């Protein structure tokens, strides 16, 4: 490859003029060139040509480590105006050279020997791509160069050698290079070698200083590039979790799609979102939340194969790149392994925290052939997993996009539902199994959509929880139920408990207790007749916080029930510390109670556990007399379900009270 320099490389310099007038012009020109990207193909040869011409050298060579530039070596020869890139000298040739130099041959100037150790490290480091350090220029003159030196530096014709590290002299560039920046970059970025023929004369001290200025400018340019590279590298990784960030993940996704197409393999793209993570930040603070995210990242990495990728997408969302998938079974195994691994408790700053996640997966090429489509479909599948009840995974299918649009429309409508009076309450009786007497009513929210009709709670409650709308809805439920209870008392209803659910979002609000007490005061409600139901998973999410909140509510006179018991992670050692009055057995264990020995064993164990801790037990979802009979034999106290009564509207209970038949109905 040839290159024609802008100046005549064979021209002899006016050395007096150079030493007094031209340094500023030379430095300006060098500085201008160095504002180009350092990997611009013609940058270094053009720069070497200018420097070689300015100082009348017959050749110029530049050694750069691979960590600085892809062009690791550049050589300029004045004759023929030729330049070339080549690999730096090998470690073996460097070792041979220094073995020769250390023997103290007469041809080798003493200055070489003084610098031998430093220069050896310099060249060896360049050969291996490591950081290196060398201070000051080395000047040498000889008529007979050692063969080893000739082989490395090409000194067959030159006599006067100037070897200069690309470093800085503090007095020259301190104003341009702060201490903090200097600590982030190596002391030396490379090696500049200039060679003159005998007739061109030896290197003068003034020339040496001017070359040092040039080397300093080169150092500054390389330092800027190095810091930019470090910054880009750091910005490609999330600083909290040290996982790839969104930008790097997208780059890896593009490459993986291309590889999957070439190899005709299946590629999985997944979105993973931590369920109710916001509650942790709201109750325990962002420091605890950050520590938890770090531990989650470690667990996710431990679940994946070596060639899979997990990245932090943002907040509590992670993305995964799953390569070389052979079947749907591979997806199932990975998804179940991830969710199972995350379900184990986390120890964070003395707190035991439980986390679940929702996972959505899209597969290439079936669910998309480009990154944007795959990510969009994986995201839609993730929200479908949340709608299924969280702690779940969902593989994308085409109908999900239609479901996602419907979900978005429902979310928009739900935001207006409270103000528009579309929500209403139903009340399901709770029954004493031995006497058949009603002992309470559980308030259940329903949504009468103006065009879609009655929306099932299983369809809109997850949307409310995901969007945070559950908080104002929950507050409305408590206020409405307490006010309605007061109205019924005036109509002659016997005093029995009113059960109201607290969502996990509500429960982890710092102002929960104050808010409940304000509602009780505003509705003149006796706290002894209010039972607050908290799910097991919400209580176990942060045990210390949960116990503190429940104790405050209990001390205020309210009753506490743990809902959906058996579906979470409670242990005997923890459960005994909760100020509970009632444990509610989840309907999933009641459904097959008669026919399933395992469900019967679980229900029996829960009842025995509750009795041992002096808690009452209520079974949900009773639909047959056989279930009632089995539960009575097990010692269960209370029950609710369709076998006793469906949820009743306010109007239905009003009619029972006004007709005077409530007492008969309430005793089954």
pLDDT of residue 86: 46
What CATH code would you report for 430-666?
Answer: 3.20.20.450
pLDDT of residue 516: 96
With contact defined as beta carbons under 8 Å apart, do 335 and 300 qualify? no
Percent of the chain surpassing pLDDT 70:
73
pLDDT at 117 over 70: no
pLDDT of residue 649: 93
pLDDT tens figures, 35-64: 666 666 677 778 888 888 888 887 787 776
Highest CATH level, class, for 246-397: alpha beta
Nearest to 541 by CA among 276, 357, 299: 276
pLDDT tens figures, 615-627: 999 999 999 999 9
Q: How far apart, in whole angstroms, are the C-alpha atoms of residue 353 and residue 280?
A: 9
Residues 116, 118, 124: CA angle, nearest 5 degrees: 95
pLDDT band at 479 (very low <50, low <70, confident <90, very high): very high
pLDDT band at 597 (very low <50, low <70, confident <90, very high): confident
pLDDT of residue 153: 62
Strands 453-455 and 317-325: unpaired
Within the chain, all domains assigned CATH 3.20.20.450 are found at 430-666
pLDDT at 184 over 70: no
Q: How far apart, in whole angstroms, are the C-alpha atoms of residue 120 and residue 108?
A: 14
Domain 15-233 of CATH type 3.40.50.970: no
pLDDT at 109 over 50: no
pLDDT of residue 21: 44
Measured CA distances, 88 to 151, 273, 328, 334, 419 (Å): 12, 49, 50, 46, 75
pLDDT of residue 560: 95
Averaged pLDDT, 137-145: 57
Higher pLDDT, 294 or 332: 294
pLDDT of residue 228: 65
Q: Which of 195-204, 236-245, 418-427, 477-486 has the lowest mean pLDDT?
A: 195-204
pLDDT at 394 over 50: yes
pLDDT at 29 over 70: yes
Residue 226: what are its φ and ψ, rounded to 5°?
-60, -45
pLDDT of residue 233: 61
Percent of the chain surpassing pLDDT 90:
30
Measured CA distances, 226 to 29, 66, 221, 385, 478 (Å): 22, 11, 9, 44, 61
Averaged pLDDT, 105-121: 40
Q: How far apart, in whole angstroms, are the C-alpha atoms of residue 194 and residue 163?
A: 6
Higher pLDDT, 362 or 97: 362
pLDDT of residue 155: 60
pLDDT of residue 82: 53
pLDDT tens figures, 306-326: 888 999 998 899 999 998 888
pLDDT of residue 497: 93
pLDDT tens figures, 555-568: 999 999 998 776 65
Within the chain, all domains assigned CATH 3.30.70.270 are found at 246-397
Task: List 312's β-bridge partners, or say none.
Answer: 318
Number of other CB atoms surrounding residue 179 within 10 Å? 7
Averaged pLDDT, 538-557: 90
Averaged pLDDT, 61-72: 61
pLDDT band at 426 (very low <50, low <70, confident <90, very high): very high
pLDDT of residue 110: 33
What are the structure tokens assigned to 161, written together?
A: 């050698």
Look over the chain and give the mean of its residue pLDDT values, rounded to a whole number: 78
Averaged pLDDT, 373-395: 87
Q: Which of 133-142, 338-347, 379-388 has the lowest mean pLDDT?
A: 133-142
Task: List CB contacts of 188: < 8 A, sequence separation 6 or more.
Answer: 122, 132, 133, 134, 165, 166, 167, 219
pLDDT band at 94 (very low <50, low <70, confident <90, very high): very low
Highest mean pLDDT among 382-396, 496-510, 562-576: 496-510
Residue whose structure tokens are 């309907």: 587
pLDDT of residue 6: 36
pLDDT of residue 177: 37
Averaged pLDDT, 595-622: 88
Residues 304, 391, 596: CA angle, nearest 5 degrees: 115
DSSP helix/strand/coil, 7: coil
Highest mean pLDDT among 1-10, 266-275, 394-403: 266-275
Measured CA distances, 289 to 85, 339, 346, 359 (Å): 51, 19, 11, 20
Measured CA distances, 555 to 463, 483, 583 (Å): 33, 22, 19
Q: How far apart, in whole angstroms, are the C-alpha atoms of residue 148 and residue 97?
A: 5
With contact defined as beta carbons under 8 Å apart, do 442 and 640 qualify? yes
């Amino acid at each position: 490859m040839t290159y024609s320099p802008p100046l005549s490389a064979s021209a002899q310099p006016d050395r007096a003029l150079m030493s007094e007038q031209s340094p500023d012009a030379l430095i300006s020109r060098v500085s201008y060139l160095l504002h180009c990207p350092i990997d611009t193909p013609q940058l270094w040869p053009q720069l070497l040509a200018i420097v070689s011409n300015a100082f009348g050298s017959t050749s110029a060579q530049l050694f750069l480590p691979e960590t600085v530039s892809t062009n690791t070596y550049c050589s300029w020869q004045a004759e023929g105006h030729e330049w070339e890139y080549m690999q730096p000298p090998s470690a073996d040739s460097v070792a041979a050279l220094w073995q020769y130099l250390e023997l103290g041959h007469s041809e080798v100037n003493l200055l070489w020997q003084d610098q031998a150790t430093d220069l050896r490290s310099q060249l060896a480091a360049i050969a291996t791509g490591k950081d290196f350090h060398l201070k000051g220029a080395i000047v040498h003159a000889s008529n007979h160069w050692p063969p080893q030196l000739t082989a490395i530096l090409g000194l067959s014709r030159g006599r006067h050698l100037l070897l200069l590290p690309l470093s800085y002299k503090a007095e020259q560039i301190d104003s341009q290079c702060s201490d903090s920046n200097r600590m982030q970059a190596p002391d030396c970025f490379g090696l500049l070698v200039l060679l003159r023929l005998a007739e061109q004369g030896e290197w003068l001290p003034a020339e040496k200083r001017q070359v040092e200025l040039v080397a300093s400018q080169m150092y500054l340019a390389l330092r800027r590039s190095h810091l930019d590279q470090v910054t880009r590298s750091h910005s490609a990784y999330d600083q909290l979790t040290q996982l790839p960030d969104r930008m790097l993940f997208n780059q890896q996704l593009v490459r993986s799609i291309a590889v999957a197409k070439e190899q005709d393999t299946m590629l999985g793209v997944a979105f993973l979102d931590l369920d109710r993570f916001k509650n942790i930040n709201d109750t325990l603070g962002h420091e605890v939340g950050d520590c938890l995210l770090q531990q989650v990242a470690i667990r996710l990495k431990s679940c994946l194969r070596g060639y899979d990728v997990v990245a932090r997408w943002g907040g509590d969302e992670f993305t995964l790149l799953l390569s070389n998938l052979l079947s749907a079974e591979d997806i199932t195994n990975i998804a179940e392994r991830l969710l199972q691994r995350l379900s184990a408790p986390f120890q964070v700053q003395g707190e035991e925290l439980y986390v679940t996640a929702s996972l959505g997966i899209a597969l290439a090429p079936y669910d998309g052939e480009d990154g944007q489509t795959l990510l969009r479909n994986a995201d839609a599948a993730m929200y479908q997993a949340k709608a299924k009840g969280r702690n779940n995974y969902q593989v994308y299918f085409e109908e999900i996009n239609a479901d996602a649009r419907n979900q978005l429309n429902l979310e928009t409508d739900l935001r207006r539902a409270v103000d528009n009076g579309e929500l209403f309450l139903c009340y399901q009786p709770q029954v004493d199994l031995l006497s058949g007497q009603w002992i309470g009513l559980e308030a259940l929210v329903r949504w009468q959509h103006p065009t879609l009709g009655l929306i099932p709670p299983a369809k809109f409650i997850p949307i409310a929880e995901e969007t945070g709308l559950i908080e104002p809805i929950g507050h409305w439920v408590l206020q409405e139920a307490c006010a309605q209870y007061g109205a019924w008392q005036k109509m002659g209803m016997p005093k029995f408990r009113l059960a109201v659910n607290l969502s996990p979002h509500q429960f982890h609000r710092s102002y929960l207790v104050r808010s409940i007490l304000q509602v009780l005061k505003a509705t003149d409600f006796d706290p002894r007749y209010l039972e607050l139901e908290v799910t097991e998973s919400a209580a176990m999410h942060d045990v210390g916080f949960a116990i503190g909140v429940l104790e405050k509510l209990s001390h205020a006179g309210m009753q506490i029930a743990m809902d959906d018991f058996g579906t979470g992670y409670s242990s005997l050692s923890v459960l005994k510390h909760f100020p509970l009055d009632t444990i509610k057995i989840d309907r999933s264990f009641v459904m097959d109670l008669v026919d399933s020995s395992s469900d019967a064993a679980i229900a029996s164990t829960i009842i025995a556990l509750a009795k041992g801790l002096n808690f009452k037990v209520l079974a949900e979802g009773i639909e047959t007399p056989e279930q009632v009979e089995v539960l009575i034999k097990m010692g269960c106290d209370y029950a609710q379900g369709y076998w006793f009564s469906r949820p009743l509207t306010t109007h239905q209970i009003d009619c029972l009270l006004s007709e005077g038949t409530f007492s008969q109905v309430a005793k089954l």
